[in-house]
Amino acid sequence: MTEIIVALDVPSARDALALLDRLPEARWVKVGSILFTREGPALIEVLRRRGLEVFLDLKWHDIPNTVAGSVAVARSLGVAMATVHTLGGAAMMQAAQEAAGNEVALVGVTVLTSHDDASLAAALGRPAAVAADEVARLAGGAREAGLAGVVCSPHEVSRVREVLAAGSRVVVPGIRAAAAPPDDQRRTASAGDAVSAGATHLVVGRPILAAQDPGAAFRQLLREAEAPVG
C-alpha cells in the first residue's frame, strides 16, 4: 500500500502535535524547513517517541562535505527519510548516500511541483526545457548515485518508474482533489491517480490541513492509497 505522509506545514510544534492528535492512524510525517527552523531536532525526538516515521524534507543542495554532514546528523536523530537536490550532482549525492548508510532513505528532489515547462525553461535558461524530460534525466542521476528514490510530481510517476530500479521510492507531493485549486503548485493530481501510476509515498499537506475534518480527509486518502502500486 502507498504510504500517506502528513506534511506538518504548520507554525509550531504545538500545532503539529494538535493536528496529529486528530490523526491517530498517521504513520508518516513530513517536517519541512519552516517547522524545523523553528523547532529544531527536539521536535524530531518528540515525533519519534510517538512512533512516527519522520521524513525530513530540507532539500539539501550544497558541496558534498556539507550535505554528507547534514545527512549524518539526520541519521543520528533517527530520521527515516530525507531529501537532497539532484541538481547538486553525482559527487554530492554519492557523499550523502554514504553518510546515510542503510538507516536513512535518501530521495532526490527532481523538479519542484511549482514549475511548469515555461517557468522551468526560464530557470534553466533552456527555452526548450520540458519538465517531464528533466525529471527523467535527474532520476537517472539519482539511480546512478545509489539513492533510494526520487521526489517528483504526480505527472511524472510513470516516467520515473521506467528509469529507477525496482523497489525504488517514488515520493509524490502536489496531491489535490480533482476540483481543488492547485495553490502555488502547477503539476498536481489526485491521490488515486498518483497511486495508480506507481507512487510509493504521497506527501499531503493542505488537503488535510485545510479540511473542516482533517481526520476524515486523511481517512479518505488512506482509502485511495489502498490501490496496488503498478
CA distances from 113 to 65, 74, 90, 95, 173 (A): 28, 25, 22, 26, 7
Crossing angle of helices 64-77 and 41-49, rounded to 10°: 40
Q: In whole angstroms, give the CA distance from residue 43 to residue 16.
A: 9
Query: Which ranges of 79-178 does DSSP label H, i.e. alpha helix?
Result: 90-100, 117-124, 131-145, 157-163
Q: Give burial (CB, 10 Å; 0-12/13-18/19+) of 117.
A: middle
Catalytic residue among 12, 46, 59, 206: 59
CA distances from 14 to 11, 20, 35, 43, 226 (A): 8, 10, 11, 10, 31
Q: In whole angstroms, give the CA distance from residue 82 to residue 150.
A: 10
Query: Which ranges of the chain does DSSP label H, i.e. alpha helix?
Result: 13-21, 33-39, 41-49, 64-77, 90-100, 117-124, 131-145, 157-163, 191-197, 206-209, 214-224
Instruction: Name the residue among 213, 208, 172, 210 with its Cα closest to residue 189.
Output: 172
Q: Answer yes or no: 30 catalytic.
A: no
Cell of 14: 504545538
Which positions are annotated as active-site residues?
A: 59
